[in-house]
Amino acid sequence: MDPELFLDFANTVKGIHMFPYFDIAHYALSCIHVRDDMTSSVQLISRKHPLACWISSMVSCFAGYIIANFLLGEMVLAPFKNLDNVGLATLVWYLIFYSPFDVVYKMCKMLPVKATLSVMKEIQRVHKVYHGVEHAALLYPHAYLVQVIIGTVKGAGAGFTKIFERFIRGTWTPTGHEFLQPTFPTKACLAASVLFVVEAETEWITAPHSMVYLGVVIFFVYFKLSGLVLHMNDPFQPIENLFCAVFMGGVWDALSRAVQVSREKAAEKAANGEVDKKNK
């Protein structure tokens, strides 16, 4: 492939407008996620408590924006300023929950449709991570940690608001949150944020910016599709296990166990020796 053509393609991917098609894909998957999260109570909540259903869906759709604004001390309600976005999200929410004979929901759950929506959502996710990092960098130029955090929550916000969404729907599950078991999107957004911060602040990455962006998009799409089609596991798991074993006490714990065992054995031997001596 001609490298110039490839660069053009990368620039095109980076310049895609999110509104409305990619946003629709994101809203649809967010609402489906909320609906699937209700399991048995979906009829009850969507029919009897439409307000709670709508609010929890909106929180899920705009999760990244809301949390990032909260953390930056900006206006939490900001996503609701733009009526185009909220209107579109409300329309998608309505179709997912209340379409006649559930056609829209059933259609979206079909694999080809779901895969297409997922690919679009991942492209939008990278867009959000990148602009999150950029926005934070503009506000706090040398606060790299803040930039990484904002990039991560912008991309994977729905994971962090899950408990709050459930709370709005009347379910309280204080133990099922992202910090204890970060999901793959959260980890991927963290990695992407770190990459974007490193790219912006250091000279280590010499590739053109749009190529880096395209690489991140391909990474997100590839692992999303692997997960969807092949039910692949989290690719970060082995790295994490290694990291935990080396740095998070794994090695030292093993060593201290070994020391303890050897001491116990020595004590046992000594005791046996005592007994042997006595028996003599």
69 binds a second copy (CB under 8 A): yes
Rg (C-alpha) for the chain, rounded Å, is 25
Q: What's the token pair of residue 175?
A: 């133990």
Q: How many CA atoms lie within 13 A of 209 on its CB side?
A: 11
User: In 3-state terms, the chain is what percent helix, strand and coil (to 5)?
Assistant: 80, 0, 20
Name the minimum Å distance from CB 268 to a second copy. Answer: 22
The answer to the question of residue 253 lying near a second copy (CB under 8 A) is: yes
Is there binding between residue 135 and a second copy (CB under 8 A)? no
Number of residues that bind a second copy (CB under 8 A): 58
Return the residues of window 169-208 that contact a second copy according to CB under 8 A. Answer: 169-172, 174-175, 177, 179-182
Q: How far is the CB of 176 from a second copy (least distance, A)?
A: 9
User: Residue 184 and residue 159: Cα distance in Å, rounded?
Assistant: 10
At its nearest, how many Å lie between a second copy and the CB of residue 212? 23
Q: Tell the smallest beta-carbon distance from residue 256 to a second copy (Å).
A: 5
Q: How far is the CB of 262 from a second copy (least distance, A)?
A: 14
In terms of CB distance, is 1 or 180 closer to a second copy?
180
**The tokens of 33 are what?**
């996620």
Select the span of 73-81, 112-120, 127-135, 225-233 touching a second copy (CB under 8 A): 73-81
Main-chain dihedrals φ then ψ at residue 208, nearest 5 degrees: -60, 150
Nearest to 56 by CA among 68, 45, 47, 67: 45
d(CA 270, CA 273): 5
In the bound complex, what is the minimum distance in angstroms from residue 169's beta carbon to a second copy? Answer: 7
CA dist., res. 114 & res. 25, Å (int): 9
Distance between CA atoms of residues 108 and 117, nearest Å: 8
Could you tell me if 196 and 82 are in contact, meaning their C-beta atoms sit under 8 angstroms apart? no
The secondary element (H helix, E strand) that includes residue 56 is: helix 50-61
Is residue 83 involved in binding a second copy (CB under 8 A)? Answer: yes
> Does 72 sit near a second copy (CB under 8 A)?
yes
Tell me the C-alpha distance between 139 and 137, whole Å. 5
Confirm or reject binding of residue 257 to a second copy (CB under 8 A): no
- Interaction with a second copy in 2-61: which residues (CB under 8 A)? 46-52, 55
Please state the closest distance from residue 211 (CB atom) to a second copy, in A: 29
Q: What character string, x for contact with a second copy (CB under 8 A) and - otherwise, covers 139-158?
A: -x-xxxxx--xx--------
* 200/209 Cα distance (integer angstroms): 9
Spatial distance between the Cα atoms of 224 and 173, rounded to a whole number of angstroms: 26
Minimal CA–CA distance to 156: which of 220, 81, 230, 226? Answer: 220
Site string for a second copy, 229-248 (x = CB under 8 A): ---------------x--xx
**Shortest Cβ 163–a second copy spacing (Å):** 9
Q: Which stretch binds a second copy (CB under 8 A): 23-31, 63-71, 115-123, 154-162?
A: 63-71
Question: Which residues contact a second copy by CB under 8 A?
Answer: 46-52, 55, 69-78, 80-83, 86, 97-101, 140, 142-146, 149-150, 167-172, 174-175, 177, 179-182, 244, 247-250, 252-253, 255-256
